[in-house]
Structure 1
């Protein structure tokens, strides 16, 4: 069963400083029976929710964000479609909320730009301490030698 889906709002973060709004018509919700124990209602209630978004065609992302999301989420994608599922709650409404939160969190994390490591140089103090340690070790080894016989 497919349902009408509201827009998904992703809060502002490092990859999306103004946040994101994914239009509801780009999201696909599917409902099915949840697995596991659940009593009498487990076979009658479609409480499991699968929420899907095609990252390759969504209008919510610009080209740079789309490329980053496709690269970072590649292991989770089926083609270019990202799908999350929620079935931990007994009610469909709570599972819908959980799936939307998961999808928003995945998008937020995927859009964070990677931090660039800038190489640093050792400080003067660390160089001095290293040289002092080397000379102490050298002195220790020199003291272990037999005295020279004349």
Structure 2
């Protein structure tokens, strides 16, 4: 079981782990041992997550979200299979933790009177500079 917080726990049947061969350092051992982990979480079908959290999770997951509604997290950071499992689970927990936080609604504010005056003054000065760019008349 993966514990996210007091209310949300991901059951083991919702997670699928597959071990694959990793790339990178490790010599001949890399070609023989499957140390990389591919963690699959069926997020769309999960009864543990509320709908609004699932929507935010889909946006946060990006390319890791599949058409079937699963999140796939790959980890091949270390040469240890057990350590890669822990890292992948931690990444999933962090992603779900971020999705739990609802974004604050932005309150529109009115510009201050002085900032409006500064803007108008700058526009007027700019217009005067541009008006001086016209043709020069030779005493007509």
Normalization by structure 2: what TM-score?
0.74
| Unmatched segments (≥5 aa) in structure 1 | 1-6, 12-17, 144-150
User: Is the contact made by 1:28 and 1:52 (CA closer than 8 Å) also made in structure 2?
Assistant: yes
Q: Which residue of 2 aligns with 1:123?
A: 112
Task: Return the match for 2:50 from 62, 74, 85.
Answer: 62
Q: Which residue of 2 aligns with 1:100?
A: 89
**Partner Cα separation in structure 2 for residue 20 and residue 53 of structure 1:** 14
User: Is the contact made by 1:73 and 1:110 (CA closer than 8 Å) also made in structure 2?
Assistant: no
Between stretches 47-56 and 29-38, larger displacement belongs to: 29-38
User: Is the contact made by 1:22 and 1:60 (CA closer than 8 Å) also made in structure 2?
Assistant: yes
User: Is the contact made by 2:57 and 2:95 (CA closer than 8 Å) also made in structure 1?
Assistant: no
Q: Which residue of 1 aligns with 2:64?
A: 76
Alpha carbon RMSD of aligned pairs, Å?
A: 3.0
| Unmatched segments (≥5 aa) in structure 2 | 133-140
Report the CA distance between 1:137 and its aligned residue. 6.0
Report the CA distance between 1:67 and its aligned residue. 3.2
**Partner Cα separation in structure 2 for residue 141 and residue 74 of structure 1:** 47
Q: Which residue of 1 aligns with 2:3?
A: 9
The answer to whether 1:29 aligns with 2:23 is no
Normalization by structure 1: what TM-score?
0.70
**Partner Cα separation in structure 2 for residue 128 and residue 83 of structure 1:** 54
**Aligned residue pairs, count:** 135
Q: Which residue of 2 aligns with 1:114?
A: 103
Task: Return the match for 2:35 from 13, 28, 47.
Answer: 47
